[in-house]
Amino acid sequence: MKTLRKIRKNAKALSPVVASIILIAVTVAVSIAVAAWMGALSIGFMETEQLSISNIQWNTGAIQLDVRNTGTTDVVISSATVNGETIDLDPDVTVAKNSDGSVSVPYNWVQGDTYQIRLLSSKGNYFPYNAVAP
């Protein structure tokens, strides 16, 4: 029994201060790793498509839309809808971020009619525009 008491008296353990410092260091290291992982994960979700239609030109057999991309990623226009009729664009039209572009939609329009035009991006976003043919 005396030897057991000697072992307990001679046993050296971490002081509470050192133990607290180690726990804080581990917590900080884990939180930095989680923050870096979340930051890398959220970068892909922060890319936004933002396309505005600034002007429309009524050409024979086509409607030409002047667009401006104010988003943080390139916008690829794959199709358009004119009054509910879907028209595939071949080839797809790419508008680079922070730049202007032009999308020509083949469509036989009628003078004086109202048209609801929606451009569809490859990511599934719609960009609407309403106009009356001159």
Residues in the chain, overall count:
134
Based on the fold, state whether residues 37 and 76 are members of the same structural domain: no
Based on the fold, state whether residues 38 and 57 are members of the same structural domain: no
Q: What is the pLDDT of residue 81?
A: 93
Based on the fold, state whether residues 62 and 96 are members of the same structural domain: yes
Q: What is the mean pLDDT of each run of 10 residues along the chain (134 residues)?
A: 57 75 93 85 71 90 92 89 90 90 92 93 90 90
Which residues make Cβ contacts (< 8 Å) with residue 4, sequence separation at least 6?
A: none
Percentages helix, strand, coil for the chain, rounded to the nearest 5? Answer: 30, 45, 30
Q: What is the pLDDT of residue 117?
A: 93
Based on the fold, state whether residues 57 and 76 are members of the same structural domain: yes
Based on the fold, state whether residues 23 and 69 are members of the same structural domain: no
Q: What is the pLDDT of residue 44?
A: 59
Based on the fold, state whether residues 39 and 56 are members of the same structural domain: no
Q: What is the pLDDT of residue 103?
A: 92
Widest Cα–Cα separation across the chain = 108
Based on the fold, state whether residues 55 and 113 are members of the same structural domain: yes
Based on the fold, state whether residues 67 and 100 are members of the same structural domain: yes
Based on the fold, state whether residues 20 and 62 are members of the same structural domain: no
Q: Map 74-91 to HEC letters.
A: CEEEEEEEECCEEEEEEE
51 closest CA partner among 41, 65, 38: 65
CA distance 104 to 110: 17
Number of domains in the chain: 2
Based on the fold, state whether residues 115 and 71 are members of the same structural domain: yes
pTM for this structure?
0.63
Q: Containing domain of residue 11, as a range?
A: 2-43
